[in-house]
Amino acid sequence: MLRRNLTFFSRFQEAYELANDSVTLCRCLVLEDSESYTPTLARSLHNLNASISNLCRHYDALPVIEESVELWRKLVAVHPASHTSNLALSLQNLQISLNNLGRHSEALPVIEKSVKLWCGLVADHPTPHMPKLARSLHDFRTSLDNLGRHPDALVAIEDSVKFWRKLADTYPTSYTPDLARSLQDLKVSLNKLGRHSEALPVIEESVDLWRELAADHPTAYTPNLARSLQNLKVSLDNLAHHSEARQAIEESVRLWRELVAIHPICYTPELARSLYSLGCSFDKLGRYGEAVPFIQ
């Protein structure tokens, strides 16, 4: 628990040292009672993998998550009902580690196995496992995109959106942010296939959801709204709707200015990017004199 709190405050080296200590202690416990403590060791390895990844030591992180996966495989062989979800989650993390090392062809079958496991779990117990299936489909989409399989990636993210819609309809407070994020990813997949006219209503829906969330919880969701408006600007430009694109990016700039006034360290880079994008919008409209201050 202390490791998690240190991570929250970006104290990654200290969090890593605690995670490493935890793994060492768990190994000692496994020597005394493997049946009771192997799951604890597998979880501690998962945490250590996350801590090493936060330090961008991706080569060191890979064998840690591989060991965690192997432990969960052995546990699932004996107690599938108890440990299949842990195996599915550890496979997702293994996929991320492989992708971090550029080993995309190896990552794909790993996430495919995770999706298959989550599908089986959802068939038996939909309520607790559907969010995890939706997230694994998002990761599946990433792996397919990394291999240039954009049509297959589109199918995966469409399935993910479908599940988030079901969840958001039932539990809007919990899952509307996930739906909004998945719509942004769906927009990206459509754009990669040149389906810009279909991408526009998707990102417009995402913006509307973030707008509703930011109205109720501005501190938590205003940055998401500002970013989604930047994505909307790109989609509008793809369809040569440059005047509407300028309006979207102007709203984004206004929101980033408000955020920078409160948290300058966090949001000044985002404001700088949006200002440059606003300058590009003026340039596209032939308003070159107004573009220059923003681009400079």
* Mean per-residue pLDDT pooled into runs of 10, the chain (296 residues): 87 94 96 94 95 94 97 96 95 95 97 97 93 96 96 97 96 96 97 96 98 94 96 96 96 96 93 94 88 76
Q: What is the pLDDT of residue 21?
A: 96
Q: What is the pLDDT of residue 68?
A: 97
* Residues 273, 244 contacting (CB under 8 angstroms): no
Q: What is the pLDDT of residue 10?
A: 85
Q: From residue 239, how far is each of 80, 84, 205, 233, 273 by CA, in Å?
A: 50, 46, 17, 10, 21
- Phi and psi at residue 121, in whole multiples of 5°? -70, -40
List the domains of the chain with CATH numbers. 175-296 (1.25.40.10)
Q: What is the pLDDT of residue 253?
A: 96
The answer for residues whose C-beta is within 8 angstroms of residue 55's C-beta and 6 or more apart is 12, 13, 16
Quick count: other Cβ atoms within 10 Å of Cβ 265?
Answer: 7
Q: What is the pLDDT of residue 74?
A: 96
Q: From residue 8, how far is each of 1, 5, 14, 45, 163 by CA, in Å?
A: 11, 5, 12, 19, 29
Q: What is the pLDDT of residue 150?
A: 97
Cα 294 to chain centroid distance, Å, stands at 30
Rounded to two decimals, what is the model's pTM? 0.89
CA dihedral 243→247→249→252, nearest 10 degrees, is: -170
Say how far apart CA 234 and CA 208 lie, in whole Å.
16
Would you give the end-to-end CA distance of the chain in angstroms? 46
Cα–Cα–Cα angle for 77, 80, 134, nearest 5°? 120
Taking alpha carbons only, the member of 125, 177, 185, 198 closest to residue 159 is 185
Say how far apart CA 267 and CA 155 lie, in whole Å.
34
Q: What is the pLDDT of residue 293?
A: 81
* Residues 90, 42 contacting (CB under 8 angstroms): yes
CA dihedral 6→264→178→175, nearest 10 degrees, is: 80
